[in-house]
């Protein structure tokens, strides 16, 4: 069966590259658009060049002229928008880059999608969002549902919420087809070292303090990146048009308990790591820090028969081993 062409923006990023790899293994023709920022996985650049159906464009999605040329040439059937500024701390210090990429960039992609749609080309827009758009949950709330109101707390989550609203408005106004996915916190190999789990592992390896905001009791839900990539593609191919799907797991941990789990795995499995708990360092909490994120993912389980396949403890151990190898080689 001939597979359609797909555009993936941010396809050299952490989640984006996982989506690209799975699409290539499913024999899709993938047009990968990425500006290769500091967060790009350069290892993936070398890996993907061996796939004949992979076409890479070093392009910023804020560059409408270049996007227009790419869309006109390849005429994709799906657009997976994973290009995003995503680190909350950075959004507090420099919100403009988040507005530019996450809102203006999405707007540009929607413009090009609309052009093809108005020429009767069959196309679907897949917007990759986050659980953070729903905002802070109270202790009794067992998970945000797809119809819940957006209550973003940070410039990052506000920019993603804005992009989601643009996507929905483009469907209502211009008739384009879309899906939105809101996933919980991703982890796994290739994640940028500014993120929580890589920071913990790298600091332990370097015998540096492990910074934990506030009291460390902020609770997050965690999903292995391969599971998220699988869910995103299933939503695109099988999800009801013009609907949102939450993607989550049962892996709920406070930041402090997750750090202690990583420490336990290191001390149990790697003999050169001892007495790591002394590295835990509680620091001043960041502004507007949400206490709890969690999504209710019953809809994707029920409608699309999806569930996460990865065992959390094995996946976190595999992730630790990957970073140990990476940092010991440097």
- What amino acid positions are annotated as catalytic residues? 131-132, 156
Residue 120: exposure state from Cβ atoms within 10 A (0-12, 13-18, ≥19)? exposed
Distance from chain centroid for Cα 309: 18
Tokens 């989601």 label which residue? 164
Q: What is the DSSP letter of 318?
A: H
CA-CA distance, 321 to 327, in Å (whole number)?
Answer: 10
Task: Give the helix ranges, DSSP H, for the chain.
Answer: 14-25, 42-48, 64-74, 88-93, 95-98, 106-118, 155-174, 196-205, 225-238, 255-269, 298-304, 312-329
Helix (H) or strand (E) holding 281: strand 280-283
Q: Enumerate the β-bridge partners of residue 246.
A: 182
Of 103, 112, 7, give the one whose Cα is nearest residue 68. 112
Give, as one character, the DSSP assignment of residue 292. B
């Amino acid at each position: 069966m001939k597979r359609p062409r797909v555009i993936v923006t941010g396809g050299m990023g952490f989640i984006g590259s996982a989506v690209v790899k799975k699409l290539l293994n499913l024999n899709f023709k993938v047009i990968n658009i990425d500006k290769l920022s500091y967060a790009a996985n350069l290892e993936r650049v070398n890996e993907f060049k061996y796939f004949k159906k992979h076409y890479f464009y070093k392009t910023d999605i804020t560059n409408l002229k270049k996007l227009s040329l790419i869309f006109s040439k390849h005429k994709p059937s799906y657009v997976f928008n994973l290009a995003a500024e995503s680190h909350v701390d950075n959004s507090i210090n420099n919100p403009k880059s988040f507005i530019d990429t996450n809102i203006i960039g999405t707007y540009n992609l929607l413009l090009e999608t609309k052009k093809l749609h108005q020429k009767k080309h069959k196309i679907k827009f897949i917007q990759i969002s986050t659980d953070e758009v729903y905002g802070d949950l109270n202790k009794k709330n067992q998970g945000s549902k797809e119809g819940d109101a957006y209550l973003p707390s940070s410039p990052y989550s506000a920019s993603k919420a804005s992009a989601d609203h643009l996507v929905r408005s483009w469907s209502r106004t211009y008739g384009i087809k879309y899906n939105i996915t809101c996933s919980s916190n991703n982890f796994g190999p290739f994640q940028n070292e500014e993120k929580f789990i890589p920071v913990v592992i790298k600091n332990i390896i370097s015998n540096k303090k492990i910074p934990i905001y506030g009291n460390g009791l902020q609770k997050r839900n965690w999903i292995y990146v391969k599971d998220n990539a699988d869910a995103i593609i299933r939503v695109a191919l099988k999800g009801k048009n013009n609907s949102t799907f939450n993607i989550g797991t049962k892996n709920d941990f406070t930041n402090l308990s997750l750090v202690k789990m990583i420490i336990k795995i290191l001390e149990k499995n790697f003999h050169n790591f001892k007495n790591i708990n002394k590295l835990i360092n509680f620091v001043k909490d960041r502004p507007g820090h949400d206490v709890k994120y969690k999504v209710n993912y019953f809809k994707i389980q029920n409608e699309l028969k999806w569930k996460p396949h990865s065992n959390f403890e094995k996946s976190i151990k595999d992730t630790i081993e990957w970073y140990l190898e990476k940092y010991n080689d440097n």
